[in-house]
């Protein structure tokens, strides 16, 4: 296997917190899958989970080589986080089709957080 693409994203956690606070469930349902929304609401820090998912989704789009397609495509990228901090990315629908066309077989993701900022890196393997 070889690297097909790499994507990164850095964002301020407070920016997503403001969106979660102002838009609540409506904002989350617009950009996140049902499983991601549930993960946010069952977390002690919903905005941190939302920010992590947002950054990973953005990095995944870049790694696959897809330009910003709007909310529908973003809901076709599902991020899951475990208690140990491991990140898993699953693709569905058009996102999966476009990834396959680009030769992507698997996505690897990692995140880091410091002083209110969150970074995500996704490597697309082919």
pLDDT at position 111, please?
96
pLDDT at residue 41 in the model: 87
- pLDDT exceeds 80 at position 85: no
Opening angle at CA 65, ends 23 and 19, nearest 5? 10
Tell me: the pLDDT tens digits for 43-83?
Answer: 998 889 999 999 999 999 999 988 766 656 789 999 999 87
Q: Of the candidates 61, 27, 62, which has an alpha carbon nearest to the alpha carbon of residue 46?
A: 27
Total Cβ atoms within 10 A of residue 100: 13
What is the full DSSP assignment across 19-49? HHHHHHHHHHHHHS-HHHHHHHHTSS-HHHH
Tokens representing 13?
A: 């956690």
Q: What whole-number percentage of the chain has pLDDT above 90?
A: 71
| Token pair of 87 as six digits | 């990140």
Residue 43, token pair as written in the block: 């977390």
Select from 109, 123, 118 the least CA-distant residue to 51: 118
pLDDT value of residue 14: 95
Number of H helices and number of E strands within the chain?
Answer: 5, 5
Instruction: Say yes or no to pLDDT of 27 above 80.
Output: yes
Per-residue tokens: 122: 């996704």
CATH 3.30.750.24 fits 3-125, yes or no: no
Question: Does 38 score more than 90 pLDDT?
Answer: yes
């Amino acid at each position: 296997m070889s690297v097909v693409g790499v994507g990164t994203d850095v964002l301020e956690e407070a920016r997503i917190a403001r969106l979660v606070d102002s838009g609540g469930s409506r904002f989350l349902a617009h950009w996140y899958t049902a499983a991601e929304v549930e993960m946010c609401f069952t977390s002690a820090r919903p905005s941190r989970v939302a920010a992590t998912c947002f950054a990973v989704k953005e990095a995944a789009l870049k790694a696959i080589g897809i330009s910003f397609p709007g909310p529908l495509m973003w809901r076709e990228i599902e991020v899951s986080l475990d208690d140990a901090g491991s990140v898993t990315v699953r693709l569905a629908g058009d996102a999966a089709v476009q990834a396959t066309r680009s030769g992507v077989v698997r996505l690897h993701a990692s995140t880091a957080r410091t002083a209110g900022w969150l970074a995500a890196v996704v490597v697309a393997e082919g």
